[in-house]
Structure 1
């Protein structure tokens, strides 16, 4: 069938098919020598479907071509899919935190607008409210800069590590006790992490991944990270959360990766890959630790 018919049947454009032909991804079954029209067999729709699926999942055309041109190791495709899932989760986490900031800003503006007779002057809003919004917006670039400076100071045989801390069942805290108590719980958890980082790790940076999750980048080996993680969990267990209005015991999950500094060429990648490891800790249960070696 002609390119226009094949395109219409598969709900794509002829322009897209021509591009796939030019890059060698999907060649027509034949080209009319007189008219130059591209023709496709109906069976090629199956190949096209896989192109569309993988493209929508974020695969590059080069990656798609590699995956479809010949049989591929199952583990390779699974690892690629895990990588895409990590990228999506990382981006989603930042968007969730921005949504939280927007929700709080709306509440402040509604309150201030009422007080100012349905008008508002942003520069006249109470500074503590503005600061509250600012501190909850993730500043990942600053965290990455600090992490990079730690890596630059590492010797060739030094290990670096990334681990994530996530509060278990945190949504229930907001639902049962309100956002103010939820904020106090987050601050308490941050202070627990910070105090143990100072106690066990000489060079480390703490970042806010999103609402109830923190990420730590450090010059440290597996044993040091395991020890730090266990100390954080012990302090979580012993902390009196009822003193800050949360009448329930709080737990967490910690998941991290350890690598030789010379093998880490992309700091953002190892930070994003740690998302998968904290998922392993969540599957184990509350107050679980999962620390794994990083493989590129």
Structure 2
């Protein structure tokens, strides 16, 4: 049987005419050139942002499928698996950029991390813009298209400024609002927990291990997660492990045993039980259903 591998695209492999770490295009022309490849599951090595202004379809991000609607924005971070399926007359804008576009421009190297939609979470990957924002958002994207036709550093700086304006406005429309300092403290602590999970999910599996790193009690950590997310602290760790397992399973060149070892499961049968308990099927069955739907 021929092995199917999920491709990983960088900006230059999608558009050879792209300027370094940035690409700005109208979505219909972008789709016309790349739909044959991009409607199949793939990954990016860059940040990805899309605004739809017309048309319908579906967009699947990390195994979650959304119905595409006009004036809906999508945000993705490097490494996420996604695919498109569109009806006719899809229109909008697409922007690809690498993190270096801003780290070389701003004194805050982690600036993008302040925006929830650039943290890789499914719950914040989509923003439905209110009607009052439609015209202003179109003007910002049109301005970026005009600036992308130039090749000076001033053109690039103007695109950076327009992107920052888009990010801040989207955060106002769809970001998590901070009701009071108490809620803000809880949110900051939760973000710190999520950051630690992202760094250590392969090695640290127990909430008490993360609670120690945060200098709080396991009960405090669990109450925090249930209060803000309606989930236990352990749920967040398991969800991150399962997401990585699904991503790795899209790589047909890795065996199930290799994936189990990569995720620090010393016993392959334990990995199978862990996966099946939450997903309902075995890792091998998931791989076959995804690569050969």
TM-score by length of 1: 0.24
Greater Cα radius of gyration, structure 1 or 2 = 1
Structure (1/2) with the larger helix percentage = 1
Higher RCO by CA contacts (8 Å cutoff, separation 6 or greater): 1
TM-score by length of 2: 0.25
